[in-house]
Amino acid sequence: MAELTPKERVLRALRREEPDRVPHFEWLVDRQVREAILPGCRDHNEFAVRTGHDAVVVDPVFEKTPLADGFYRSEWGYVGKKTQEEHGIEVRSPIKTMADLERYTPPDPCAPGRYGAVEEALATYGDRYAVIVHLNDVFSLPRCLMGMENLLLAIAAEPELVQALVDMSVDINLKMAREVAARGAQIVYTGDDVAATAGPLMSPRHFRTLFYPGLCRVIGGYKELGLYVIKHSDGNLWPISDMIVDSGIDCLDPIDPLAGMDLGEVKARYGRRIALKGNVDCAGLMTFGTPDETAAATREALRKGMPGGGYILSSSNSIHSGVRPENYLAMVRTLHECGRYAR
């Protein structure tokens, strides 16, 4: 097979086909790891292109107003705090009750400049690389607006409030999807974590009644726009995995190995319906292990994920600040040594 462009490689994988080799990209490579590997590298997407990723990732622009002591206020109205990672954490949220929601006005999804970064990424990289736009589905926005603890309590105590937040999330994200599709985007990913290591953050019954209908609606809307959809969630998804796949996604990420999500088992169960992305352990192995151990885990992931196509190699979440740069490089090197399809 002739050498494919990175974009063609990713699209073939999302169609569950065999490209020339397994594609690779990460949602995030932390600045500390980037600087160790490519000193002076300007940003994540420059790093991605210079180190051979097959995709670049971009977000719509939502303003964050700096506050004192490392805090900031998001355009969504929640207060976050900066951390040693490139993303912050929410520490104060604007909605606790239905009355709060009724007074709440979300940001305008069509505000001027909202898609400037998307337009720039498509113009700069879109001919050769897969440009993947980060949107959401049904959990992240409710979590940011209520806070995790309050949202989880409300699932049982105030399901009408949760349902209203889910509906808001679906409506806003579908409006944003129309905007990015009109600008030429082909792929979106939704970063809504709905599980932890032990299992989903809510019961399967609550997922089915409160979140699954909205998930089907938002994923269905993305697909109607012609977008490929990569669904991200850490954790043990087995109790709700059928619902997630049935929602119509094209790819599931990151197949969390520490949560019992064995890549071979997921491939056997769902590989005829969806592509898979993951799942080299970044929480333990790539943080505390050796390059040889990382290379061995990468070979095992390729062994399980490659057959028949439909596989994208990556870490089991992202390349966070604790990942040893030499381990990340070992994963990428092993991909190029072992990830090519025979012809």
Domain ranges, ordered by start, for the chain: 6-62+93-338
pTM to 2 decimals? 0.97
pLDDT of residue 2: 79
Instruction: List the one residue out of 102, 228, 123, 231 whose CA is nearest residue 168.
Output: 102
Topology adopted by domain 6-62+93-338: TIM Barrel (3.20.20)
Q: What is the pLDDT along the chain (343 residues), one digit of tens a residue?
A: 679 999 999 999 999 999 999 999 999 999 999 999 999 999 999 999 999 999 999 999 999 999 999 999 999 999 999 888 888 888 999 999 999 999 999 999 999 999 999 999 999 999 999 999 999 999 999 999 999 999 999 999 999 999 999 999 999 999 999 999 999 999 999 999 999 999 999 999 999 999 999 999 999 999 999 999 999 999 999 999 999 999 999 999 999 999 999 999 999 999 999 999 999 999 999 999 999 999 999 999 999 999 999 999 999 999 999 999 999 999 999 999 999 998 7
Asked if 32 and 319 touch (Cβ cutoff 8 Å), the reply is: no
Asked if 107 and 75 touch (Cβ cutoff 8 Å), the reply is: yes
**Which residues on adjacent β-strands are paired with residue 132?**
57, 187
pLDDT of residue 49: 97
pLDDT of residue 1: 65
Q: Which position has the token pair 């009408």?
A: 160
